[in-house]
Structure 1
Amino acid sequence: MALIQTSLIWVTYAIAVVILLAISSIFVYIYQTPRDRAASVTTVCIFTTSALLATVLLMPVDIALVSSTSLSSQGRKKDWATPNRVDSIVYTLKIVYYTLYSLDAVLCLLVIPFTYFWYEEYDEDAAEHGEQTFGNRLWGAFKYTIAFIVFVVILFLVGFFVPVTKQAKHDHRLDFDYFKHLLEENHGERALSFALGLLITIGTLVYILYTGAGLALLPVALIKSAPSVSAPILAANTASQLEQNRERQRQLERRNEGREGGLDTRDRRELEALIREERTLIRRERLAAESSGEDRHWLIKAWIKVEAVFRPLKLLGGLILMVLALLIFISMLITGIDKASNSICKAHCGYVLGHINIFQPLNWIFVKSSKVFPIDYVLFLLLILFFFCASVVGIATVGIRFLWLTLFKIRKGHTSPQALLMATAMLTLIVLAINYSVAMVVAPQYTTFGPQTFCDRLARHPREQPDCSSDHGAIKPCTELAENPVAKDVCTPSVVSTFINRVTVNFPVFGVVSFWAQFAFLAVYLIVFLTTLFRTPKLDQEEMDRDLEEEEEEGLLASTGRRFGATWQDITGRVRKNNYGATERNGERS
C-alpha cells in the first residue's frame, strides 16, 4: 500500500512535468520572432523554463510524501513508516531538490549566458564564405562566459567557507529540535544554501517589480482586452479601403499627366492626404495579418484560434483571477504581519515563524485539500501557473530595463533571441523568489507539515505509540515549536521548508531582505491594481506607441467592447459577405 501511494505521487509529478514541458514550448514559440529563430536558443529556453517550473512544483510532492507517513486523524505514524523508511523518503527528496536547484543555478548563470554569446557570435556573411568555423564561434562564446564561470566558482567557495551566524547557534530561542537540525549541515550543503540564498534574494528584487505588477495586470487585462473587431473583418475592410485609396491616387496622377506645373494645390493636398492614409492602412493591414496568424508558425496560429474560442470566457476568467489575486494579497499580508509580530527571533533568524497565530485563508484551503491527494496538487499547480503567467505579463508590459532605459521588449511573435534568453534568466530568478514566497508567506503551514498532526499525550509504554482515538481534542497540528516528545517522532517537516529555513537561519540577511521584500511586492501590486481599475492596460503596444495614429489602430483590436461575431470570425477565419460581395460589420456595409 505504501509503495502504491508513493508511486502514485511520483507518477502525478511526472505527468505534471510533461504538461509543463508543453506549456514551456508554447510560451517560447508564441513569443519568439519567426525570422530570427535559433534552435539553440529555443532548446535552452524551453528546457530552462521546464526545469524551473519542475523545481517549484516538486513542493506539493514533497508535502504529499512526508504527509503520507502519518495518520492525521489519529496523530501518529503509520505502521510501515519506520524511521528508516521516513529517512529514505527524505533522502530521495533531498537528492531531487539539490539536483534541480543546482541545475537551475547552472542554467541561469552559465548555460543561458553561453547561449546568448553563442548566438551573438554568429556571422552569416562570414559563415557563407567559410571565414567562421565552429571552433572560432565556440571560443568566442566561451571567452565571454569565463566571467560567469569565475562568479559561480567564487559564489560556491564563499558559501563553502563562510561561517554560519554565531548568534543563531547561541540563541536560546532556537533550542527546539527543529531549529537545531537546521544548524547541522556539512560544507557542501552550506555552499548550496548560500548560493541559492543569494539567487533568491536577487530574484526577489526582480519579483517585486515584474510579478507584483503582473499579478494586478493579468486579471484586468483579461477583462478589458477582448476585441470588438475580428481580425478577418479588419483585414477585409482594410484591403478594400487600401484599393480605393490607391485607385484615387492613380486617378489624380492620370488627370494631371502632361500638365506643366504638375499637380495643382488642391490635388497636391489631396494626394498627400491619400499617401498618409495609405501608410496608416498598410500598418492596419499588417496588424490584422499578425493578429490572424498569417505567415506565422502553426503553433501560434493554433494558439490564436484557442484564444478566440475561449474569448467569451475572458471576462469570467478575469474576475476569478482578480478574486484569487486579492485572496493571495490578503493571505500574504496576514502572514507578513504575523511574522513581524510573532517571529520567535525576528531578524536574527530571518523572521522564522514557529506557528501560525492568525487565521490565514489560503493556507487553510491548502491544508484541508492536502488530506485528499491530488486535490492540493492541482490547486498548487494552478497557483504556480498564475504566478508564472503574471511574471510573463509583467515582463511583457514593463520590458527588460536598466534603470529608465529599455534594453529589450517582450512581445508575442516579435521577441528577439537575445530578449528571450534574458527573459528566461529573469524568470528563473523570479521562480526561485516565488518558491520562497509560497513556502514562507503564501501557505507556510501547508508547505512545512501539510496536514500532519500529533497526539499530545504520552504513550503508556515506551514501545507503544500514544493513543488519541478516544480523545480527539488531544490531536494538534504539527508546528516547529511543538515541545511534546511525540511530535519529534511523528512530525516530519518537508524538505523544501527545511532548506529555505536553513538559508534564513544560517544567513539571516537573506531572510530579512526576502521577508521585507514581500511588503514591497504587495505595495507594487496594490498601486498597479488601483491604476488598472481606471486605465485600460496596453499590453504589447510598444511598437504602436510611436505615434497616436498607430496607437489608434491597435485600439481596433484591443478595445473594451465585445461581440460574439468577432469571436466566431476569428475562429473560422472567414468574413460574412452580403449579396453584393461587400463585407458587413455591425450591420454596416463597407
Structure 2
Amino acid sequence: MALLQTSLIWIVYAVVIAILLAVASVFIYIYQTPRDRSPSVTLTCILAITSLLATVLLLPVDVALVSSTTSSKLGRRKDWATQDAVDSITYSLTIVYYLLYSLDALLCLLVIPFTYFWYEEYDEVAAEAGEQTLGQRLWGALKYTLSFVAIVVIIFLVGFFAPVAKDKGDLDLDYFKRLLTENHGERALTFALGLLMTVGICLYVLYTSAGLALFPISLIKTAPSISSPTLRATTAQQLEANRERQRQLEGRCGGNPELLSSKDRRELDTLTREERTLIRRQRLVEETQGEGRSWLMRAWYKVGAIFRPFKLIGGILLLLVAFVVWVSMLLTSIDKAKNSICKHRCGYILGHINVFNPVNWTLVQSAKVFPVDYAIFTVLVLLLFCSSVVGIAVVGIRFLWIRIFQIRQGHTSPQALLLATALLMLMILALNYSISMVVAPQYATFGPQTFCDRAPSLPLGQPDCTNSKDLIKPCSELAKNPAARQVCTPSVVSTFLNRITLNFPFFGVVFFWAQFFFLGIYLIVFVTSLFRAPKLDERQLDEDAEEAEEEGLLASTGRRFGATWQDITGRAGQTGHSGD
C-alpha cells in the first residue's frame, strides 16, 4: 500500500512536469519573434523555465510523501512508517532537490550566459563568406562566459569559508539545532542558493508585485469591441476610399501638391497620415489572426478568441485569489514580526503560525485528499509565474531607469528572451521561498501531519488518540511533547529554506522585509490600475497597443460575444460600425 501511494505521488509529479514542458514551450514560442528564432535560445529557455517550475512544484510532492507516513486522524505514524522508511523518503527527496537546485544554478549562471554570447557571436555575413568557423564562434562565447564561471567559483568559495551563525541559547529545540550545519560543501550550496534568492527577491518585489496587481485587472478591462475579420474588412474599405481620394487630389495638380489650394493640401496631408494609420491597423489585424504564421500561432489566437468571453469572469476570480494571497502574506509577515522565536538573529524564523491564514488553511485541508492540494498549489504557482511575466512586459528589462529590452508577444528578440528567462529563474527561486515560508508556512513544513499531545502521566511509546480527538494537534517546530518528535517529519524544502535563514541570518532579514515592500508595491499598483487602464511606457507605446486603444478595447460586454464568434469562424459579419 505504501509503495502504491508513493508511486502514485511520483506519477502525478511526472504528469505535471510534462504539462509544464508544454506550457513553457508554448510560452516561449508565443513570445519570441518569428523572424529571428534560434534553436539554441528556444531550447535553453524552455529547459530553464521547466526546471525552475519543476523545483517549485516539487513542494506538494514533498509534503505528500512525508505526510503519507502519518495518520492525521489518529495522530501517529502508520505501521509501515519505521524510522528507516521515513529516512529513505527524505533522503530521496533531498537528492532530487539537490539535483534540481544545482541544475537551476547551472542554467542561470552558466548556460544562459553562454547561449546569449553564442547567439551574439554569430555573424551572418562572415558565416556565409566562410570567414567565421564553428570553433571561432565557440571560443568567442566561452571567452565571455569565463567571467560568469569566475563569479560561480567566488560564490562557492565564499560560501565554503563563510562563518555560519552559532548555536544560540534560546534555540533549545532539536529541530533548529539540526539546521546549524558544519558541512562545508552543504554550507557552500546553502550560501549560493541564499545569494541567488536574495537577488531574486529584489526582482520578485519589483516585477511580480506589479504583475500580480495588473494581471487580473487587465483581463477584466481589456476585450475588443470589434472582431478581427470585421475590423479587417472595415479597414480595407477605408484604406481603398482613402487612396481613391488621394488619387483624385493628385490628379488635380498633376502630381505637384504645390498647385493645390491650402485647403486641399491640408486634406492631402491628413489623408497621408490616415493611410499610415490604416496600414498599421491592417498589419495588426493580420497579426491578430495569425496570418503568415505557423499553425500553432493561428491555433493560439483561435483559442484566445474562444475564451475571450470568459476573460471578465476569469479576471474577477483571479483578482479575488490575488487578494487572498496578499492578505495571507500580510498576516504571516505580521505574525513573523511579532512572534518570531529570535527575530533578526535567526532570520525571523517562525516556530508555528499564530494567526489564521486562508491560503495555508485551504492547502492543509486539501492535502488530506491528494492531489487536490497539488491542483490548488499549481494554480497558485502559475498565477504568480504569469504575474511575473506581466510585470516584465509592463516594466521592461531595465538598467536603472534605462529600458534595455521589452517583452511582447511575437516581438521578443532572442537576447531579450534569454534575459527575461534569467530574471524569471531568479524570481521563481524567490517565489519558492515566499510560498513556502510566507504564503503557506504550515502546509509547506508539515502539511496535514498531526500528533497526539498526551498527558505526561500516560506511558510513552506509539502515541494513540483513538479515544480522545481533542488531543490531536497540528505538528509544529515548537512542539515540546516527545510524541511530536516521534511522529512529525518536516518537509525537505522547509529544512533547506530554514537552514539558509538560520545559518545566514542576513538573508532571512532581507527575505522578511522584502515581503512588506512586495505588499506595498502591490497595493499602490492595484489602486492606481483601478482608475487607469494598464499600458506600457507612453514613450515607447507599441503600434499594436496604440491601435488597440484606437479601436476601443474597453467596449461593452454585449459586443464582445459577436466579435468572438467572428474571430473563431474567421468571417466578418454585418459591421454596423457607425463610430463609438
Residue correspondence of structure 1 range 130-209 to structure 2 within 5 A? 130-166=130-166, 169=167, 171-209=168-206
2:516 pairs with 1:519: yes
2:213 pairs with 1:216: yes
Distance, in Å, in 2 between the alignment partners of 1:209 and 1:259 is 55
- Equivalent AA in structure 1 for residue 16 of structure 2: A
Residue correspondence of structure 1 range 173-322 to structure 2 within 5 A? 173-257=170-254, 262-322=259-319
Deviations 1:235-288 (A, max 9, x none): 111111111111111222223339896434333332222111111111111111
Between 472-481 and 249-258, report the one with greater CA deviation.
Answer: 249-258
Deviations 1:124-164 (A, max 9, x none): 10010000110000011111111100000111111112121
Change (3 A) 1:252 1:175: same
How far residue 217 of structure 1 moved from its aligned partner, in angstroms, is: 0.3
Contact 2:194 2:500 in 1 (8 A): yes
Q: SS in structure 2 opposite 1:383?
A: helix
- Equivalent AA in structure 2 for residue 513 of structure 1: V
Q: Which of 563, 569, 574 is residue 571 of structure 2 equivalent to?
A: 574
Between 238-247 and 197-206, report the one with greater CA deviation.
Answer: 238-247
Distance, in Å, in 2 between the alignment partners of 1:337 and 1:6 is 37
2:559 pairs with 1:561: no
* Corresponding residue of 1:84: 84
Q: SS in structure 2 opposite 1:482?
A: coil
- Equivalent AA in structure 1 for residue 411 of structure 2: H
Change (3 A) 1:291 1:552: closer
Between 451-460 and 190-199, report the one with greater CA deviation.
Answer: 451-460
* Corresponding residue of 1:491: 488
Contact 1:216 1:529 in 2 (8 A): yes
Change (3 A) 1:25 1:542: farther
Residue correspondence of structure 1 range 400-479 to structure 2 within 5 A? 400-457=397-454, 464-479=461-476
* Corresponding residue of 2:98: 98
Structure 1 unaligned residues grouped into runs of 5+: 578-583
- Equivalent AA in structure 2 for residue 401 of structure 1: R
Distance, in Å, in 2 between the alignment partners of 1:491 and 1:528 is 41
Distance, in Å, in 1 between the alignment partners of 2:555 and 2:183 is 58
Distance, in Å, in 2 between the alignment partners of 1:290 and 1:346 is 54
Deviations 1:67-92 (A, max 9, x none): 00001111111000011110000000
* Corresponding residue of 1:581: none
How far residue 185 of structure 1 moved from its aligned partner, in angstroms, is: 4.7
How far residue 589 of structure 1 moved from its aligned partner, in angstroms, is: 11
Change (3 A) 1:320 1:291: same
How far residue 585 of structure 1 moved from its aligned partner, in angstroms, is: 3.2
Determine what percentage of the aligned residue pairs are the same residue.
Answer: 65
Distance, in Å, in 1 between the alignment partners of 2:483 and 2:30 is 53
How many residue pairs are counted as aligned between the two chains? 577
* Corresponding residue of 1:392: 389
Change (3 A) 1:447 1:258: closer
Residue correspondence of structure 1 range 315-330 to structure 2 within 5 A? 315-330=312-327
Change (3 A) 1:143 1:473: same
Change (3 A) 1:126 1:193: same
Change (3 A) 1:319 1:542: farther
Deviations 1:511-565 (A, max 9, x none): 000111000000000000000111111259875468xx98365331632433211
* Corresponding residue of 1:585: 576
Q: Which of 326, 341, 344 is residue 344 of structure 1 equivalent to?
A: 341
Contact 1:544 1:554 in 2 (8 A): no
Deviations 1:423-477 (A, max 9, x none): 0000000000000000000000000000101111269666x41221111111111
Deviations 1:8-43 (A, max 9, x none): 000000000000001001110111000111000000
Contact 2:257 2:265 in 1 (8 A): no
Distance, in Å, in 1 between the alignment partners of 2:407 and 2:549 is 17
Q: SS in structure 1 opposite 2:178?
A: helix
- Equivalent AA in structure 1 for residue 549 of structure 2: E
Contact 2:109 2:148 in 1 (8 A): yes
Q: SS in structure 1 opposite 2:404?
A: strand
* Corresponding residue of 1:580: none
* Corresponding residue of 2:329: 332
Distance, in Å, in 1 between the alignment partners of 2:538 and 2:410 is 13
- Equivalent AA in structure 2 for residue 504 of structure 1: T
Distance, in Å, in 1 between the alignment partners of 2:133 and 2:332 is 57
Distance, in Å, in 1 between the alignment partners of 2:450 and 2:500 is 26
Distance, in Å, in 1 between the alignment partners of 2:48 and 2:125 is 31
Q: Which of 346, 364, 374 is residue 377 of structure 1 equivalent to?
A: 374
Distance, in Å, in 2 between the alignment partners of 1:448 and 1:278 is 62
Distance, in Å, in 1 between the alignment partners of 2:60 and 2:472 is 23
Contact 1:66 1:494 in 2 (8 A): yes
- Equivalent AA in structure 2 for residue 13 of structure 1: Y
Q: SS in structure 2 opposite 1:173?
A: coil
- Equivalent AA in structure 2 for residue 96 of structure 1: V
Change (3 A) 1:260 1:268: closer
- Equivalent AA in structure 2 for residue 317 of structure 1: G
Q: SS in structure 2 opposite 1:283?
A: helix
Q: SS in structure 2 opposite 1:407?
A: strand
Between 450-459 and 388-397, report the one with greater CA deviation.
Answer: 450-459
How far residue 323 of structure 1 moved from its aligned partner, in angstroms, is: 0.7
> How does the TM-score come out when normalised to structure 2?
0.96
Change (3 A) 1:241 1:499: same
How far residue 489 of structure 1 moved from its aligned partner, in angstroms, is: 1.4
- Equivalent AA in structure 2 for residue 444 of structure 1: P
Distance, in Å, in 1 between the alignment partners of 2:317 and 2:310 is 11
Distance, in Å, in 1 between the alignment partners of 2:536 and 2:255 is 50
Residue correspondence of structure 1 range 8-157 to structure 2 within 5 A? 8-157=8-157
Contact 1:227 1:561 in 2 (8 A): no
